[in-house]
Amino acid sequence: MAQRRFGRGDRALGGKRHRRGFMKIELPRHVIPKRLATGKVAYYYNVPTKYRAMSCPIANEPLGGDFAVMKTRADTLNGLFDEWNQQRRGLPISGVSVPKYGTVDWLFREYKISKAYLEKVAPRSRRDYEWAMDGVCNTLTKKGDRVGDRHRSAPSLPMTRVRNRGELPSMNSRS
């Protein structure tokens, strides 16, 4: 195979020329570009192995070839990574409306931004899903606190107690 001329490397993977239409693009943190067999560039979110060894819950995932979609998803994943890293270091999580790591609110927020929700739940049904999730999170316990503020590993939820007392119809009964 013949050698290519100097300066004709993979433009998407390395440095870019500033003249003749090429420009340098800053990628979000933890994003790596890879050239596919078709010649197109795809982007991947890759958590460093240092944090993977610390049991980071953020998974590596392909972000696709579209730069705008990659940028929004990478910003979301980097925000989740920063939140996890602050929690790991014992620092308070910044933001007023950010649920605490590990609570039921946090679990539902994670689900809403996951591929399982975005690809499998029809946009028409999402309003019903969010209504149900808000209903669960805003339910008050006997102690007076919200279910959404509880840690996700809490053994019992108040809805099971209420259903057992007969105040709500069970899922199997017909009305």
Q: What is the DSSP string of 80-136?
A: HHHHHHHHHHTPPPP-SSPPPTTBHHHHHHHHHTSHHHHHHS-HHHHHHHHHHHHHH
**158 compared with 138, residue with greater pLDDT:** 138
Report the chain's C-alpha Rg in angstroms. 23
Q: What tens digit of pLDDT does each residue of 139-150 get? A: 998 888 889 888
Please tell me the distance from the alpha carbon of residue 58 to that of residue 80, in angstroms, as a whole number: 7
Question: Residue 106 — pLDDT band, cuts 50, 70, 90?
Answer: confident
**90 compared with 142, residue with greater pLDDT:** 142
Taking 60 as the threshold, does the pLDDT of residue 157 lie above it?
Answer: no
**129 compared with 93, residue with greater pLDDT:** 129
Taking 50 as the threshold, does the pLDDT of residue 27 lie above it?
Answer: yes
What is the pLDDT, as a whole number, of residue 166? Answer: 43
**Cα dihedral angle (48, 50, 51, 53), rounded to 10 degrees?**
120
What is the reported pTM?
0.48
What average pLDDT does the segment 129-135 reach?
Answer: 91
Please provide the average confidence, as pLDDT, over all residues in the chain.
78
